[in-house]
A and B are shown apart, each in its own frame.
Chain A
Amino acid sequence: MSTYSLAIHGGAGTILRTQMTPEKEAAYKAGLARAVAAGEDVLRQDGTAMDAVTAAVCALEDEPLFNAGRGAVFTTEGAQEMDACVMDGRDRSAGAVAGIFGPRNPVRVARAVMERTPHVLLIGPMALQIARDAGLPFEERDYFFTQARWDALQETMEMRRKGQESDDPARRHG
Chain B
Amino acid sequence: TVGAVARDRAGNLAAATSTGGMTAKLPGRVGDTPLPGAGTFAENATCAVSGTGHGEVFIRYTAGSEIAARMRFLGQSLDEAAQHVVMKDLHDHDGSGGVIAIAHDGSISMPFNCEGMYRGSVREGEAPQVAIYRD
* A residues with CB within 8 A of B: 1-17, 20, 25, 28-29, 32-33, 35-37, 39-40, 43-44, 46-50, 52-54, 56-57, 60-61, 66-69, 71-77, 79-90, 92, 94, 96-99, 105-107, 110-111, 120-121, 149, 152-153, 156-157, 160, 169-174
Distance in Å: Cβ of B97 to nearest Cβ of chain A: 5
Q: Are A15 and B15 in contact (CB under 8 A)?
A: no
Q: What is the total of A-B residue contacts with beta carbons within 8 Å?
A: 351
Q: Are B18 and A56 in contact (CB under 8 A)?
A: no
Chain B residues within an 8 Å CB radius of A157: 24
B11: interface (CB < 8 Å): yes
Q: Are B2 and A8 in contact (CB under 8 A)?
A: yes
Chain B residues within an 8 Å CB radius of A20: 132
Given A8-B100, A12-B53, A172-B54, A84:B4 Cβ within 8 A: no
B62: interface (CB < 8 Å): no
Chain B contact patch, size range:
35 or more
Known: A5-B7, A89-B44, A153-B24. 17 other contacts (CB 8 A): A1-B10, A9-B120, A12-B1, A29-B132, A46-B8, A48-B12, A49-B14, A57-B16, A68-B19, A75-B21, A84-B19, A84-B33, A107-B16, A169-B53, A169-B97, A172-B53, A174-B20
Q: Are B42 and A60 in contact (CB under 8 A)?
A: no
CA distance in complex: A37, B98 (Å)? 22
Chain B residues within an 8 Å CB radius of A83: 18-19, 21, 30-31, 33-34
* B residues with CB within 8 A of A: 1-36, 39-44, 48, 50, 52-56, 96-98, 100-102, 106-108, 110, 112, 114-125, 128, 130, 132-133
